[in-house]
Amino acid sequence: MPTTRRFLDWNRPVLELAAERLLAGTTPPVLDLGHLLVVVPTKNAGRRLREMLAHLAAREGRAICPPQVVPPEFLLSLISGPDDGRAASPEEALLAWVTVLQKIHLDDFPALFPVPPANRDFQWALGTARSLNDLRNTLAEGGLSIAGTCELLAESLEEAARWEDLARLEAEFVATLRQNDREDLLTRRQANRQSPQLPAGITAIRVIACPDPIPLAIEVLEHLGEQLPLEVWVHAPGSLADAFDSWGRPIPEAWAQRRIEFPGGELPVHVLPGPDAQAALVAGAIPDGDTPSAVVSIGILDDEVTGPLRRLLEKDGRPPFDPGGTPLRSEGVLHLLRVLRELLEKKGIEAFAMLLRCPDFDAYLAKTLPQWNAVEALRVLDSSRRKHLFADLPSLQGWFARPGGNTASSLTGALEVTGQFLARLGQQPLTTSLLDGLRDLLGSRPSSADPRPARVQQTVSEAMVPLLEAVEGPIGTSLKLRASDLFALLLATLEQETLYEERRPGSIELLGWLELHWDEAPHLMVTGFNEGFVPESLTGDIYLPEGLRKRLAELTRFPTNESRLARDTYLFEALLQCRRDGGRVDFCLGRHSRGGDPLRPSRLLFLCADEDLPDRVRTLFRDAPLPRGNLAWTPGFELQPFPGNPPPYAPKTLSVTAFREYLSSPFTFYLRRVEGMETVPDDPQELDALGFGNFCHEVLRQFGAHPEARESSDAAQIRKFFRDRVDELAVKTFGFHPPLPVRIQLDGIRARLDQAAEVQARSRADGWRIIKSEYQLDNPPFVLKGVELHARIDRIDEHEKTGAVRVLDYKTSDKAVKPETAHWTKVTKGTKLDWVPEYARFSIDSKNFRWKDLQLPLYRLMLKSEYGDAIECAYFTLPKAVEETAILPFTELGPSECTHAQNCAEGIIKDIRERRFWPAPSPKAKDEFHRLHLGAPLKTFNLAPMNSPRPVHEKPAE
């Protein structure tokens, strides 16, 4: 039976014309089109057609039995053979490729794999399998296999050795399927291509406005057309009959020279700087009123326009609807799967932290553990990571499971549950474990009012079913997948999936290029009308370069860039023509991408008469009009100190070191001491400066507290003591195998302590005995201006002959600093003193100084009652340059300096009480509070609450 072409004149949108014509073919009383198979270009076109039929029926107060509306790909199912379960599903085909790639010797395929992959693992096999599968599927659309391609092109095939390798690999693939009692679906289709099986009840076929069906589908239609009436409806005037082939496809030669006129001679093209401007222009052109969707649809050809446009539409209360859906790969559930895979594969501690932060796992833990507290667990995790620097999850688990470990904390419970959960995921059969695991995990959270999470889960579940069936089938079973492989496979599958949203009332349609033809909005605004987005053009395919495609097209129906250009030229004209008498199309194009990359106008816009071309080129390649911009940086808002109106800050105690912080910067003092700010590192891998110092201090404390060791003047003996303590403490803190960076740091600590042993031995030989170590100075407390000062003095020595007493403070900073340098600085002409309070300045011998630290003078004052006035003070420095290790006495510190220091301390206490933390010096670049002050506290903070007036200071005497 010959096929019939019918032309639906393109003076109206194809959707309306097609629906009306279909409806006209029904016979009362029932509007029944159930006997028809209608082929339309896309699924969404089908949806719109059925919706339009429903509307037309409703106009007459009726409902309708729709035809079976399908995209061209559906026709391939008609040649897929019987539903006997033997045809390999796409998922099984993928697994078969993986099997082949894992099995073969790559050396046997030198042209295909000239360089061996770095890791020939499951991931590599999966990625390569996908690309080979894609190649086969592409060829199959043209009715070809790899071997068939080789045969077809024979000697004229470029890179023949590579194609031979591919063909041999294909043979291995088919054999693998066969060995597993599966048939290659593509081979089946090849075999059945001449005898398609129609669904029951279909008595006629209509192919409507399909300008580019896949070649194999056309072959199926050809055979169907021999069995029953088949009409091809072309959306174009009959006068253009010669420009289409019998299947309604634009003929490339006929469209190559096509010249397209815009209605009214006006060029409805808007050249704009970038995606934001396109979005703004389009959003601004959406009419007011209740149903702007009755007027407008928007074409999105450049994805970069989507984000800003969606935001603008939502802001204006015009919900966008994208029938093309959004990629599932960007959903949180995939993140959860990735985290689980990471944990199964690498047992990373960061992955564990991420798992704890997943709300599904949080809910799962809450369900499993009666006392679960996520905030506490994460706090404990961070603090123990910082202290013990665990390399991985097993080390963390081992630490908490050790005898005497904290079993009560939420984290301990979470570790146990996580361990059990991961173990469960690894149990055979893996598919059951996976399903059960996901069911328990994803079912833990109460369902939300937002339908989206449920839709995500449903999409995941639907995509999983065929995959799990494939894994449970013979091919999957023979692969012997590990749990992490199964996750990799699942993720690779889910990442290809699309999440479809439901249209909301009044939604503005956001449509892709191929959908636009089937939209009937009077006003179409097409964004991203740039070369590269339209016309579609494929270049750089690793297997099928355009040269090869052209050769295949000469021999088969293979699509080429020319055929796509013809299709897109036709679609472009059709969009314009069907709105010529009632509507409008606006094309927007950007000159730059968001990243600043230049873009070109689409070639389609130049299909004008030659005499118009120079002007058209000048117009469309012109610079886009730019906004007039002049926005100076403003902070937006100021941070409010003392949030939540707390009671005044009136500390009853202060540590001696607090004074150094205030003297360094009252502002930083406020942040650290008043607000209690402490920063947590993200992923600690080594000891920070504090941890490094604490470690050294602990060793030295033990030495000072050891009645025998501390008496030694033998450097070797002391060294051994230090080394033994370092080793013990290291095991206690980091386990038997500390992380590599810590090993290096421990070596550094050993080197410093080795040298300290020499110094200590000499000190002891000189007659100095340790009498106190880590001496807590709080009984009785030393009170200054009503505040108790607290200090833990590293060590106190007494000279065995003279009875002299000295206070030592260990310093492990990288550079050895003399005590006087650390405590005060000389004030010179250039010293910036604008923020330094008067009490922090003092003069000696007509020279001016300012305090930087009060530690040793305050120690002296605090110890006065116990040891009198003649206490010596010194630093025991353990710097990086170990030859500079020394006990550095603070000889300049005398009673008058101590009095100055006391005045200074009292001044600070007063200022603290009066909440005076400003003025302060400019913060150092990128200090730990940079995120708050951004280097400019004057602009980012409301400083008034911490800037109570202070008596005017006189300038220090010159």
Partner 1 sequence: MKNLRNEMILASAGSGKTYRLTNRFVHLLALGVSPERIIALTFTRKAAAEFLDEILKKLSTAASNPGFATELRDQLELENFGSTEALKLLRLVIDRLHLLTLGTLDSFFHRILACFPAEFGLGAKFEVLSDHDAIAARARVFASVYANRTTEDEFIEAFKKSTFGSEEKNLQSILDDFVTSHHQTYLRQPNPSRWGRKETIWPGSAPWLEPRSTPEEACRHLRAATAGFHLDKKALAMWEGLLDFLEHLPGAQKSKPSDTTLERFLLAYTKAMRGGPVDLKFNRSPFTLPPDLCASLADLGHHYLAFKINPYLERTQGIHQILRIFEDTYGQQIRRAGMLGFLDIRLLLNGTLLSENWHQELSACGGEGKLHVDYRLDGKFDHWLLDEFQDTSNDQWQVIANLIDEVLQDSGGQRSLFYVGDVKQAIFGWCGGDSALFNDIRNHYNSRRPDCIATEQMQDSRRSGPALMETINRIFGDTATLRSLFPDHEEFLQRWEADWVPHTTHHQDRSDYVELLTLDEDPESEESSKERGFAAVAALVAEIAPHEQNLSCAILVRTNDDALELANTIRARTDVPVTVESDTLIGSDHPIASSFVSLLQSAAHPGDTTAWRHVLMTPAFAAHPCQEHGSLQRRIQRRVLTTIHDSGFGATFALWLDLLAQGGFVPDEFARHRIDQLRQSAEDFDADGNRSIADFIRTIESAASREAPAEGVVQIMTVHKSKGLGFDVVILPDFTAERNVKSITSPGILSLVAHQSGVGLHREIDWVLKMPNKDVCLADPTLLEARQKLENERAYEELCVLYVALTRAKYATHILCVPPKMASDPDATPKGSTREILHTTLKQDSGVGAARTLGEEVLTRVYALGHPDWHHTHRGTRPAPKQETRIPPVHQRRPFPPIPRALPSSGADDAHAEKQGSHFLFSRRSREAANHGTKLHAVFERIDWLDHLTPSTLEETVLTGLDPADPSQSALREEILTALRAPAILALFQRTRFGPDPTLWREKRFEIIHEGSWVSGTFDRVVLTAEEAWILDFKTNRVSTPGEIAAAAESYKSQLAVYRHALSRLTGVAPENIHTHLIFTKPAVLV
Instruction: Enumerate residues 140-179 that contact partner 1 by CB under 8 A.
Output: 158-159
Shorter beta-carbon distance to partner 1: residue 272 or 787: 272
Q: Which of residues 471-490 bind partner 1 (CB under 8 A)?
A: none
- Considering the rule CB under 8 A, would residue 284 count as an interface residue with partner 1? yes
Q: Which is nearer to partner 1, 521 or 873 (CB)?
A: 521
350 binds partner 1 (CB under 8 A): yes
First and final C-alpha spacing in the chain: 112
By CB under 8 A, is residue 921 in contact with partner 1?
no
Measured from the CB atom, the residue of 749 and 796 that comes closer to partner 1 is: 749
- Minimum CB separation of residue 23 from partner 1 in Å reads 11
Q: Does residue 118 bind partner 1 (CB under 8 A)?
A: yes
Does 130 interact with partner 1 (rule: CB under 8 A)?
yes
Minimum Å gap between C-beta 31 and partner 1 is 7
680 makes contact with partner 1 (CB under 8 A): yes
Q: Is 114 in the site for partner 1 (CB under 8 A)?
A: yes
Residue type present at position 937: P
- Binding positions for partner 1, 579-598, rule CB under 8 A: 582-584, 586, 594, 596-598
Which range touches partner 1 (CB under 8 A), out of 445-453, 696-704, 796-804, 907-915? 445-453
423 binds partner 1 (CB under 8 A): no
Where do runs of H (alpha helix) occur along 393-482?
Answer: 393-401, 410-425, 430-442, 451-472, 474-479
Using rule CB under 8 A, residue 270 touches partner 1:
yes
Distance separating alpha carbons of residues 58 and 68, to the nearest angstrom: 19
Measure the CA–CA gap between 12 and 207, rounded to whole angstroms.
18
Q: Residue 624's closest CA among 590, 595, 588? A: 590
Distance of closest approach, residue 17 Cβ to partner 1, in angstroms: 13
We find the least distance from the C-beta atom of residue 407 to partner 1, in angstroms, to be 21
- Binding partner 1 by CB under 8 A: which of 183, 245, 316, 675? 675
In the bound complex, what is the minimum distance in angstroms from residue 569's beta carbon to partner 1?
A: 12
Indicate the pairing of strand 805-811 with strand 792-799: antiparallel
3-state secondary structure string, 776-831?
ECCCCCEEECCEEEECEEEEEEEECCCCCEEEEEEECCCCCCCHHHHHEEECCCCC
Does 330 participate in binding partner 1 (rule CB under 8 A)?
yes
Q: Which of 35, 43, 77, 117 binds partner 1 (CB under 8 A)?
A: 117
Comparing CB distances to partner 1, the nearer of 1 and 609 is 609
Name the one range near partner 1 by CB under 8 A: 145-153, 697-705, 767-775, 924-932.
Answer: 924-932
| Segment contacting partner 1 by CB under 8 A, of 332-340, 401-409, 785-793, 838-846 | 332-340
Residue 876, beta-bridge partner list: 810, 887
Task: Note whether 481 and 471 are within 8 A (CB).
Answer: yes
In angstroms, give the least distance from the CB of 850 to partner 1: 20
- CA 553, CA 97: separation in Å to the nearest integer? 27
Indicate whether 11 belongs to the interface with partner 1 (CB under 8 A): no
**Can you tell me the distance from the alpha carbon of 441 to that of 926, in angstroms, rounded to the nearest whole number?**
41
**CA dist., res. 143 & res. 75, Å (int):** 13
Q: If we measure between CA atoms, which residue out of 463, 551, 548, 543 comes closest to residue 500?
A: 463
CA distance 750 to 736: 17
Q: Which residues pair with 499 in a beta bridge?
A: 326
Give least dist CB 401 to partner 1, A. Answer: 21
Residue (503 or 697) nearer to partner 1, CB: 503
Residue 293 contacts partner 1 per CB under 8 A: yes
**Looking at 45-53, 403-411, 758-766, 863-871, which segment touches partner 1 (CB under 8 A)?**
45-53
Choices 399-407, 673-681, 836-844, 849-857 (CB under 8 A): range interacting with partner 1: 673-681
Q: How many Å separate Cα 738 from the centre of its chain?
A: 31
Q: Would you count residue 24 as binding partner 1 (CB under 8 A)?
A: no
Q: Which residue type, as a one-letter code, is found at position 216?
A: L
The one among 274, 320, 704, 819 contacting partner 1 by CB under 8 A:
274
- Kindly state the DSSP code that residue 459 receives in the 8-state scheme: H
Distance CA 862, CA 780 (A): 10
Cβ contact 770:702 at 8 Å: no
Stretch that binds partner 1, among 50-58, 203-211, 915-923, 947-955 (CB under 8 A): 50-58
Contact between 397 and partner 1 by CB under 8 A: the answer reads no
Helix (H, G, I), strand (E, B) or coil at 296: strand
Residue 327 three-state SS: strand
Of the candidates 756, 882, 765, the one whose C-alpha atom is nearest the C-alpha of residue 814 is: 882
Task: Output phi, psi for 432, to 5 deg.
Answer: -65, -45
Residue 673 DSSP symbol: I
384: number of Cβ within 10 Å: 17
Residues 725-754 that bind partner 1 (CB under 8 A): 739-741, 743-745, 747-749, 751
Min CB(614)–partner 1 separation in Å: 4
Which residues in the 184-243 window bind partner 1 by CB under 8 A? none
Task: State whether residue 451 is helix, strand or coil.
Answer: helix
Question: Whole-angstrom Cα distance, residue 749 to residue 741?
Answer: 12
Span of 85-93, 108-116, 204-212, 419-427 interacting with partner 1 by CB under 8 A:
108-116
CA atoms of 475 and 429, how far apart (whole Å): 15
Which of the residues 531 through 550 are near partner 1 (CB under 8 A)? 531-532, 535, 537, 539-540, 542, 545-547
Task: Answer for the pair 855, 809: CB distance below 8 angstroms, yes or no.
Answer: yes
CB-nearer residue toward partner 1: 405 or 635: 635
Cβ 186 to partner 1 shortest distance, Å:
20
**SS3 category, 662:** helix
The distance of closest approach from Cβ of residue 775 to partner 1 in the complex, given in angstroms and rounded to an integer, is 27
Q: Does 54 bind partner 1 (CB under 8 A)?
A: yes
Smallest gap from residue 629 Cβ to partner 1 (A): 3
The CA-atom distances, in angstroms, between 865 and each of 675, 825, 862 are: 34, 29, 7
Question: Which residues, numbered 367-396, are part of the site for partner 1 (CB under 8 A)?
Answer: 374-376, 378-379, 382-383, 391-392
CB of 860 to partner 1, least distance (A): 30
Q: Residues near 812 by Cβ (< 8 Å), separated by ≥ 6?
A: 692, 693, 696, 697, 752, 878, 879
Interface positions, 310-329, toward partner 1 (CB under 8 A) = 311, 321, 327, 329
Q: Which residues lie below 8 Å from residue 576, measured CB to CB, with a gap of 6+?
A: 260, 262, 263, 585
- In whole angstroms, how close is the CB of 785 to partner 1 at the nearest point? 26
- What values do phi and psi take at 23, rounded to 5? -65, -35
Residue 260 touching partner 1 (CB under 8 A) = no
Q: What are phi and psi of 907, to 5 degrees?
A: -60, -40
- Window contacting partner 1 (CB under 8 A); options: 459-467, 798-806, 838-846, 907-915: 459-467
Q: How many chain residues touch partner 1 (CB under 8 A)?
A: 203
Taking the complex as a whole, how short is the minimal distance between the CB of residue 318 and partner 1, in angstroms? Answer: 13
Q: Out of 161, 650, 677, 716, point to the residue binding partner 1 (CB under 8 A).
A: 677
**Burial code of 394-409, b = ≥16 C-beta within 10 A, e = fewer?**
ebbbebbeeeeeeeeb
Contact 748, 724 (CB under 8 A): no
Q: How far is the CB of 343 from partner 1 (least distance, A)?
A: 13
- Among residues 685, 776, 843, 948, which is the contact residue for partner 1, using CB under 8 A? 685
291 binds partner 1 (CB under 8 A): yes
Residue 69 and residue 64: Cα distance in Å, rounded?
14
**Side chain identity at residue 399, one-letter code:** W
Residue 458 interacts with partner 1 (CB under 8 A): yes or no: yes
Told to check if 514 binds partner 1 by CB under 8 A, we report no
By CB under 8 A, tell whether 22 contacts partner 1: no
